[in-house]
Amino acid sequence: MKKIVSLIRRAVEDYDMIRDGDRVAVGVSGGKDSLALLCALAKLSEYYPKKFEVCALTLDMAGDTDYSGIQSLCGSLGVEYHIKRTNIREIIFDLRKEKNPCSLCAKMRRGALNDLALEHGCRTIALGHHNDDVIETFFLSLLYEGRVSCFSPVTYLSRKDVYQIRPMVYVSERDIRGAARRNNLPVTESGCPADGITKREDIKTLISELEQRTDRRLKTRLFTAIQNSAIDGWKI
């Protein structure tokens, strides 16, 4: 976890993600990424020069998931934890029967998470997107939308007056997977009917194949290209 904390601190400082006195809400889905982010930010808050508080928030997509393991983790970290039961999964898959559910699901989850964060006094929301997500999102935009685009490390949402930050943009999924295993993080199964069969999974496979055909520095070069591309919010 030490390496992840170090890389998160670097991203926080490079993009001025956290201000003194902030109350930072971590969106905790139950997956390895958000749990690693929660642990690392909680650790960083202990000694970072800018004092900030961490709060963990979970949206239960169907209202029936057991998050007791995460509750225990938050207790050991001394982090406040709140769960909001929703019917998002029912709306998307049962009522609307979306064939391509990811976009609408992400939009609904973002809106619900923003509201929940404000409800608990947080105007900075930390999301668990990592370095691999950056590269995959770039490819998704390029190949499926015909745009050179990607999410930003910091996004200001003026309608809600909240900041979304992504402190793990320098952290690889491989490092997160290892940290989750070594620290026995209470990873909770997603329960999403579309899990593992999305366009993002196709892009992940494509990038892996390109790595095998070129070399293991491919992702590093792609990430540098994104930083150099003048995409909004990115810098080298």
Q: Domain range for residue 140?
A: 2-228
Per-residue pLDDT of 179-219, as tens digits, reads 999 999 999 876 666 565 678 899 999 999 999 888 888 99
Is 171 or 189 the better-scoring residue by pLDDT? 171
Q: Which long-range contacts (CB under 8 A, 24 or more apart) does 142-145 make?
A: 143/203, 144/199
Is 61 or 4 the better-scoring residue by pLDDT? 4
pLDDT at 99: 63
Q: Is the pLDDT of residue 236 over 90?
A: no
Q: Is the pLDDT of residue 53 over 80?
A: yes
Domain count across the chain: 1
* Residues 154 and 233: beta-carbon distance below 8 Å: yes
pLDDT at 143: 92
Decide if 15 is inside a domain: yes
Decide if 186 is inside a domain: yes
Decide if 233 is inside a domain: no
Q: For residues 224 and 219, give the distance between their C-alpha atoms in angstroms, rounded to a whole number.
A: 9
Decide if 114 is inside a domain: yes
pLDDT at 227: 94
Q: Provide the 8-state DSSP code for 53.
A: E
Specify the CATH number for the domain of residue 125. 3.40.50.620
Decide if 234 is inside a domain: no
Amino acid symbol at 5: V
Of 68, 50, 72, residue with least CA distance to 124: 50
pLDDT at 223: 95
pLDDT at 97: 59
pLDDT band, very low/low/confident/very high, at 141 (cuts 50, 70, 90): very high
Decide if 235 is inside a domain: no
pLDDT at 190: 64
Mean pLDDT, rounded, of the chain: 89
